[in-house]
Amino acid sequence: MADYDFDVLVIGSGPGGYVAAIRAAQLGLKTACAESRATLGGTCLNVGCIPSKALLHASELYEEAASGALAKLGVKIDSMSLDLDTMHGQRIDAVKGLTGGVEYLFKKNKVEWLKGHATFVNADTVTVGDRTVRAKNIVIATGSSVTPLPGITVDQERIVDSTGALELPEVPSHLVVIGGGVIGLELGSVWRRVGAQVTVVEFLDQILPGMDGDVRKEANKIFRKQGMTFRLSTKVTKAERIGDKVVLTVEPAAGGTPETIEASHVLVSIGRRPNTEGLGLDKAGLTANKRGQIETDHDFGTSVPGIWAIGDVIPGPMLAHKAEDEGIAVAENIAGLTGIVNHDVIPSVVYTSPEIAGVGLTEEQAKERGEIKVGKFPMLANSRAKTNHEPDGFVKVIADAKTDRVLGVWMIASVAGTMIAQAAQAMEFGATSEDIAYTCHAHPTHSEAVKEAAMAVLGKPIHI
């Protein structure tokens, strides 16, 4: 240790980096974390998961009141209005509380925060601001940034990325969302609920690529019912700001006659790309792959001994909980323990209303691998969904036809983000659909739909 300033230096304090740093310190390693942002917590806490969920929650409540849904339950509100400043205020408070919480945890665990941008000098030395530090192990957890769309300039006023879309000071009259992925649908939902007309332009022939086919189709139907307009198989070739308006030029994805759409605001949400530029990877002897990601082995070690990588900057889904689990695993591997992440069982959730969630293989992927059995149960037949007036959605359990082992679970339900945890746990324990079907589920709960879908795999659901 004599030659080193730290046992572990983590670059980046997102859910991957801050968790890795805390776990390393808990394991008795002298740890620092470099972060160039003014607050800790990375994309997720500052401009991602947390502020978006704060707006999703508030806007959902607003819509329930404004649409008369609450009145139908006997909750009459004689006069109501949108106070967007307060809505933003509670978003800012949530971010402040949680980023401050990470700072507190760093102090508590004696993780030193090195403030500034980190650049490799060589494989074990990094400069952070005007400081040069040497570390026995370096964990790259630099995360990802918005993918720009060539020809379209984000001005964060009328043409915004996800960060700008979280901070709009007024409700757009017409928001055009470029990209029908997770960000487009979550932030599109926020602004639709508070009064914006929302048009989603998606290059592919369906929204939410990567998710189960049935879920994608049903989700599209539900969003249309809620008032969103979709232009599928369509690409945006130009977006020009003219005063307070934006004029977009769109054409069929396969090519064809262009047309224009006028918008008050545009959200560019076509994906994110890993942050490897300006890191001096070459000085460390590392190269990024074609997608700009850093490749690692199963233990999160890179091709250079002593340098590790986790989170959005490595291949795999760009999700906070995946980054967190990798953070714990990498710290344990550095400490000589065995840190493992089962990348086959990473749940994903879209926090719209209803929520959309899945874990494991889609039906399409499972079919490619062999014979399967599928059980489906509609939320319409679930008693709790009925009492809560939440008829939309279903649960689908996909199992191996021979062994009955659960290969994937997909669902649309008001609380799908919470329900998916039991599916992930069952799959982690190698459950069969029968195991889920014979597990006692509390009544009345939305989760009973998971049990019934598992019973449907065996051909014997009770309530349909």
Regarding 45 and contact with ligand NAD (CB under 6 A), the answer is no
User: Which residue is associated with the tokens 């620092």?
Assistant: 32
Regarding 271 and contact with ligand NAD (CB under 6 A), the answer is yes
Interacting residue with ligand NAD among 186, 212, 332, 448 (CB under 6 A): 186
- As annotated, the active-site residues are 443
Q: Which helix (H) or strand (E) holds 332?
A: helix 320-334
Cβ pair 248, 236 in contact under 8 A: yes
Interacting residue with ligand NAD among 40, 201, 413, 416 (CB under 6 A): 201
Burial level of 4, CB count in 10 A (0-12/13-18/19+)? middle
* Number of C-beta neighbours around residue 272 at 10 A: 19
The SS3 call for residue 139 is strand
Is 193 or 376 the residue whose CB approaches ligand NAD more closely?
Answer: 193
Is 17 or 408 the residue whose CB approaches ligand FAD more closely?
Answer: 17
Q: Which helix (H) or strand (E) holds 131?
A: strand 131-140
Binding mask 212-231 for ligand NAD (x = CB under 6 A): --------------------
Cα–Cα distance between 153 and 241 in angstroms, integer?
9
Report, in angstroms and rounded to the nearest whole number, the Rg of the chain calculated over CA atoms.
23
CB of 204 to ligand NAD, least distance (A): 5
Regarding 37 and contact with ligand FAD (CB under 6 A), the answer is yes
CB of 237 to ligand FAD, least distance (A): 24
φ, ψ at 299 (rounded to 5°): -90, 0
- In the list ligand FAD, ligand NAD, none, the entry touching 235 (Cβ below 5 to 8 angstroms by class) is ligand NAD
| Contacts to ligand NAD from residues 413-452, by CB under 6 A | none
| Contacts to ligand NAD from residues 318-337, by CB under 6 A | 318-319
Is 206 or 439 the residue whose CB approaches ligand NAD more closely?
Answer: 206
Q: Where are the beta strands (DSSP E) in 209-263?
A: 229-231, 234-242, 245-252, 259-263
Nearest C-alpha neighbor of 334 from the set 308, 311, 358: 308
- In the list ligand NAD, ligand FAD, none, the entry touching 139 (Cβ below 5 to 8 angstroms by class) is none
Q: Where are the beta strands (DSSP E) in 49-109?
A: none
Cα–Cα distance between 424 and 409 in angstroms, integer?
8
Residues forming the site for ligand NAD (CB under 6 A): 149, 178-184, 186, 201-204, 209, 235-236, 269-272, 317-319, 348-351
Residues forming the site for ligand FAD (CB under 6 A): 11-17, 34-37, 42-44, 48-49, 52, 117-118, 141-144, 162, 183, 275, 279, 311-312, 318-321, 323, 351
